[in-house]
């Protein structure tokens, strides 16, 4: 029997999702299977596609192509397109609570047949949810986004030959109630002017333009504001991070590098948290020495969050998806209709055919 090539649809709605799913695309093509992209909404820029990458322009195109699986680094995906729906996640659980008072990372929106989890911290809660709802399966695979980080094959555009100063990466979430970008601006400016460290600054794409513009004005030989769809080279280039609650800090920790947070509410021993502006410099100085107790706490945390360090998470995801494609989803309970959510998706996508 000749097995046909499997077809994978990469379904994205944000520019940062390109870099998140490209390791999966590489693994799919390496297996001899087919892959196409579908871009949902106005916040994702088609110019970020590479000339060799294939895009489907409409839901009709997707339905004609008939993907076997749809890989989604987001929260929702239409039920009216073919294929197993696979939740890949667009980040780690940062403990953010939604308007219903629940952790958003574990909110079940009845869109997915399979969740590919990053490590015990996400796998165990999703297994409990799978037992409760019965509408999806769970696999612990690691996060494909990080594969290039562990394979050490990243380009290093942020290294400067001859500049051996420690590099501080400052990242901040866009949420007004959680972001420290405005609060620490003058302190970051002053520290950059001192020139002891080289600063890289990168924000969430939804950060307010006026805040972005303020930091862009700080560009100098001591500070570089970076706009990119791929944060991995930034993470690799820095020695220490300054952050608030953004989940990107978890990605940084997973390199075994320390993070200083400003007004982080978690009280976690794997973070160096400060609540006063005057504490930022001493905290960064301490973190750069990599104290043994801190590094031990970071290692224990990483084992719980993402124990996979082999750069093969994409392969584990594909193995899990292929297994579900072969076995089918008949043993899963039917998902709730979610009529309002899917009507909203139809309106956004301009698709009104039924059946």
Q: How does pLDDT run across 119-175, given as a tens digit for each residue?
A: 999 999 999 999 999 999 999 999 999 999 998 778 889 999 999 999 999 999 988
Contact 169, 159 (CB under 8 A): no
Contact 305, 119 (CB under 8 A): yes
Which tens digit of pLDDT belongs to each residue from 180-204? 999 999 999 999 999 999 999 999 8
Q: Which CATH number fits domain 7-143+308-349: 3.40.50, 1.20.1740, 3.30.160, 3.30.56?
A: 3.40.50
R_g (Cα) of the chain, nearest Å: 21
CA separation for the pair 88, 321 (Å, rounded): 11
Overall pTM > 0.85: yes
CA separation for the pair 346, 78 (Å, rounded): 8
Sheet hosting strand 240-243, strand order edge to edge: 223-225, 198-203, 167-172, 240-243, 259-262, 272-274
CA separation for the pair 200, 234 (Å, rounded): 8
**Residue 84 neighbours by CB under 8 Å, 6+ apart:** 68, 69, 70, 113, 114, 321, 324, 325, 329
Average pLDDT for 219-239: 95
From 293, 295, 309, 252, select the one nearest 119 (Cα to Cα).
309
What would be the CATH architecture of the domain defined by 155-305?
A: 3-Layer(aba) Sandwich (3.40)
Q: How many residues make up the chain in this entry?
A: 355
Contact 68, 84 (CB under 8 A): yes
Which tens digit of pLDDT belongs to each residue from 295-326? 999 999 999 999 999 999 999 999 999 999 99
Where in the chain is CATH 3.40.50.2000? Answer: 155-305
């Amino acid at each position: 029997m000749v097995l046909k090539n499997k077809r994978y649809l990469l379904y994205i709605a944000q520019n940062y999702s390109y870099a998140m799913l490209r390791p999966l695309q590489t693994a799919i093509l390496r297996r001899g299977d087919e892959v196409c992209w579908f871009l949902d909404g106005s916040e994702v820029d088609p110019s970020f596609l590479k000339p060799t990458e294939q895009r489907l322009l409409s839901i009709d195109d997707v339905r004609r192509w008939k993907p076997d699986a749809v890989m989604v680094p987001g929260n929702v995906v239409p039920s009216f397109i073919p294929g197993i729906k696979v939740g890949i996640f667009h980040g780690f659980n940062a403990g953010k609570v939604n308007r219903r008072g629940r952790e958003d990372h574990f909110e079940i929106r009845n869109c997915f047949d399979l969740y590919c989890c990053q490590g015990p911290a996400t796998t165990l809660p999703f297994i409990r949810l799978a037992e409760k709802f019965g509408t999806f399966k769970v696999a612990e695979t690691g996060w494909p986004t990080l594969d290039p980080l562990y394979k050490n094959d990243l380009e290093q555009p942020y290294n400067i030959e001859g500049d051996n100063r420690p590099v501080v990466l400052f990242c901040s979430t866009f949420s007004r109630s959680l972001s420290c970008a405005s609060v620490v601006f003058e302190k970051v400016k002053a520290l950059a002017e001192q020139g002891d460290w080289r600063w890289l600054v990168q924000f969430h794409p939804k950060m307010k333009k006026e805040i972005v513009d303020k930091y862009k004005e700080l560009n100098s030989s001591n500070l570089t504001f970076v706009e990119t769809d791929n944060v991995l080279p930034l993470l690799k280039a820095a020695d220490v991070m300054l952050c608030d609650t953004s989940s990107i800090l978890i990605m940084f920790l997973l390199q075994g590098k320390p993070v200083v947070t400003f007004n982080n509410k978690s009280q976690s021993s794997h973070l160096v948290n400060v609540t006063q502006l005057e504490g930022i410099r001493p905290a960064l100085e301490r973190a750069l020495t990599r104290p043994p107790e801190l590094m031990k706490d970071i290692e224990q945390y990483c084992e719980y969050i993402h124990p996979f360090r082999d750069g093969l998470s994409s392969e584990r995801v594909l193995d899990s998806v292929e297994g579900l494609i072969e076995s089918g989803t008949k043993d899963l309970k039917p998902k709730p209709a979610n009529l309002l959510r899917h009507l909203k998706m139809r309106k956004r996508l301009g698709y009104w055919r039924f059946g």
